[in-house]
Amino acid sequence: MNQEDLFKKLIAHSKEYGFVFPSSEIYDGLGAVYDYGQNGVELKNNIKKYWWDSMVLLHENVVGIDSAIFMHPTIWKASGHVDAFNDPLIDNKDSKKRYRADVLIEEELAKIEGKIDKEIEKARGRFGDTFDEKVFRETNNRVLDNQEKWNALHARFAEALNKADLAELKQIIEDNEIVCPVSGTRNWTEVRQFNLMFSTEMGSTADSSLKIYLRPETAQGIFVNYLNVQKTGRMKIPFGIAQIGKAFRNEIVARQFIFRMREFEQMEMQFFVRPGTELTWFEQWKETRIQWHKALGFGAANYRFHEHEKLAHYANAAVDIEFKFPFGFKEVEGIHSRTDFDLSQHQKFSGKKIQYFDPELNESYVPFVVETSIGVDRMFLQVLSASYFEEEIDGGDGKKDTRVVLRLPAPLAPVKLAVMPLIKKEGLPEKAREIIDELKFEFNCQYDEKDSIGKRYRRQDAIGTPFCVTVDHQTMEDNTVTIRYRDTMEQERVAIDQVKSIIAGQVSLRRLFEKLKS
């Protein structure tokens, strides 16, 4: 299946099976805002729990908070967001479509990379086992030409970003003959800065109302609570504060489903360290976070690190973890060494001393910060796109059939088991309910008696349920059921009182945590 088709199918599947709905759909939707349905919310909660527990349970020096979305507006002046949380936008005069100038150039870079990858894959096919990618990259003329092109464009792009040179960004777009994907023309406007923060007003009278921003990141809620948590929790550096919550950005372009939303959720952790140690911690968190992704079993080749072209105004090191989505490698998580920028700024703007007395050094300082920041929704899309498979299977009587299966890691699956009476009579439904009544305290169970057993299996495959338990006539005689495994489709007859431990062993988050080394 080509990747574009896969992406379209994912979007349709998400809607059809109650994972993700366009927001306000009966009013024709609202741009880049989505709602999570009955299965989506379960998957999303499981992802959040996987992250939260891996931070807060597995690290005794990481604690959590839940800060308000509304915050004092001066926070956003101090953090630099009022002045600098901008994206460069450009319009195409013919299609009237709006783009991010930096994204247009990044896509051009990805195109060149795509050409290199194609050459490599062709050669790999030709040479088979004897193929040496490194040597090929260093000697093939077409690859070398494209690599040179990429390097030159990348260097020019990074310089323009770092200087915030909008005219140069436009020039790069022109020089590279980048066209609007809709109109196909190069009739561009100038590049302008656009602030991504939403604002509203707080207070009932016009005179006393205060301009309030909807937070564009959850991190600032952590910084302004640094002293509260450090003091009340008697935390010793190094320590971290984790938070999961909504963030809002008035994104210029929002065309990639839940990849880029205007209202989304972040899972962020700020790790406070002694100045001078931040780059060591940066490396450590980079490793910890990539392990967390890889533990899900989606394949190491689907991840890569991407160094930032431009460091944010607060950072002295930054890297993205990228995942291979159906539309290419894209950022799911950022790891940033934010120096003492945020705490120092809040110290300056609030007039309150925000420091740590380090008893080992016998001195006070403003801690440095290493941040890990991941979008829940992008993570959700990662999980969905890595888990979606269409398979040809044996439909019985020698006929071929297909099934759509979400091979979700069992600890993340929205429904852990479905219990199905083979027929709707002779006491089988009651027996099935008895099983659910016993297991529902531990697992999200679903009862299903409608349609043929085959159809019921298909429905559960489509939402990624790892186990289907079938109650049949034999159950009534010897208290055994069949348990059917989603991925292998194999069935096994087991005693009812074994079901709980079989399932528990597979769906516990502990299975994932045990793969994390630190």
Judged by CB under 6 A, does residue 470 bind ligand ATP?
A: no
Q: Please give the C-alpha separations between residue 515 and each of 268, 269, 290, 332, 402, in angstroms, as whole numbers.
A: 22, 21, 12, 20, 33
Cα 353 to chain centroid distance, Å, stands at 35
Number of residues binding to ligand ATP, judged by CB under 6 A: 15
Q: How far is Cα 19 from Cα 249, in angstroms, rounded to an integer?
A: 23
Q: Largest alpha-carbon pair distance within the chain?
A: 80
Judged by CB under 6 A, does residue 370 bind ligand ATP?
A: no
Span interacting with ligand ATP, options 116-124, 260-268, 274-282, 360-368, rule CB under 6 A: 260-268
Judged by CB under 6 A, does residue 261 bind ligand ATP?
A: yes
Judged by CB under 6 A, does residue 385 bind ligand ATP?
A: no
Which residue has 């490698």 as its token pair? 329
Nearest residue by C-beta to ligand ATP? 375
List all residues 6 or more positions away from 91 whose beta carbon is below 8 Å from its beta carbon: 97, 98, 99, 188, 189
Given 345, 373, 460, 470, the residue binding ligand ATP (CB under 6 A) = 373
Judged by CB under 6 A, does residue 331 bind ligand ATP?
A: yes
Smallest distance, Å, CB 177 to ligand ATP? 24
Q: Which of 410, 444, 449, 411 is nearest to 427 (CA)?
A: 449
Judged by CB under 6 A, does residue 380 bind ligand ATP?
A: no
Span interacting with ligand ATP, options 204-212, 227-235, 258-266, 418-426, rule CB under 6 A: 258-266
Judged by CB under 6 A, does residue 260 bind ligand ATP?
A: yes
Residue 275 corresponds to which amino acid?
A: P
Binding mask 237-256 vs ligand ATP (x if CB under 6 A, - otherwise)? ------------x-x-----
Judged by CB under 6 A, does residue 40 bind ligand ATP?
A: no
Judged by CB under 6 A, does residue 374 bind ligand ATP?
A: yes
Residues in the chain: 518
Q: How far is Cα 344 from Cα 205, in angstroms, rounded to an integer?
A: 34
Burial label, 66 (beta-carbon count in 10 A; 0-12, 13-18, 19+): exposed
Under DSSP, the state recorded for 295 is T
Nearer to ligand ATP, 325 or 457 (CB): 325
Residue 161, Cβ neighbours under 10 Å: how many? 19
The answer to whether 192 and 166 are in contact (CB under 8 A) is yes
Smallest distance, Å, CB 232 to ligand ATP? 28
Given 340, 377, 448, 472, the residue binding ligand ATP (CB under 6 A) = 377
Smallest distance, Å, CB 255 to ligand ATP? 12
Nearer to ligand ATP, 11 or 432 (CB): 11
Smallest distance, Å, CB 135 to ligand ATP? 34
Which residue has 């080509």 as its token pair? 2
Cα 345 to chain centroid distance, Å, stands at 29
Judged by CB under 6 A, does residue 346 bind ligand ATP?
A: no
Token readout for 478 is: 């010897």
Span interacting with ligand ATP, options 66-74, 374-382, 392-400, 458-466, rule CB under 6 A: 374-382
Between residue 106 and residue 165, which ones bind ligand ATP under the rule CB under 6 A? none
Q: How far is Cα 45 from Cα 88, in angstroms, rounded to an integer?
A: 34
Given 378, 407, 431, 484, the residue binding ligand ATP (CB under 6 A) = 378
Cα 273 to chain centroid distance, Å, stands at 26
Nearer to ligand ATP, 13 or 330 (CB): 330
Q: Report angle CA 269, 19, 333 to the nearest 5 degrees.
A: 25
Nearer to ligand ATP, 247 or 507 (CB): 247
Judged by CB under 6 A, does residue 309 bind ligand ATP?
A: no
List all residues 6 or more positions away from 188 whose beta carbon is below 8 Å from its beta carbon: 90, 91, 92, 93, 170, 173, 174, 180
Nearer to ligand ATP, 320 or 472 (CB): 320
Nearer to ligand ATP, 244 or 405 (CB): 244
Residue 408 corresponds to which amino acid?
A: L
Nearer to ligand ATP, 198 or 389 (CB): 198
Give the β-pairing of 98-100 and 192-195: unpaired
Given 375, 411, 421, 464, the residue binding ligand ATP (CB under 6 A) = 375
Judged by CB under 6 A, does residue 334 bind ligand ATP?
A: yes
Q: Which residues contribute to the site for ligand ATP (CB under 6 A)?
A: 249, 251, 260-261, 264, 266, 331-334, 373-375, 377-378
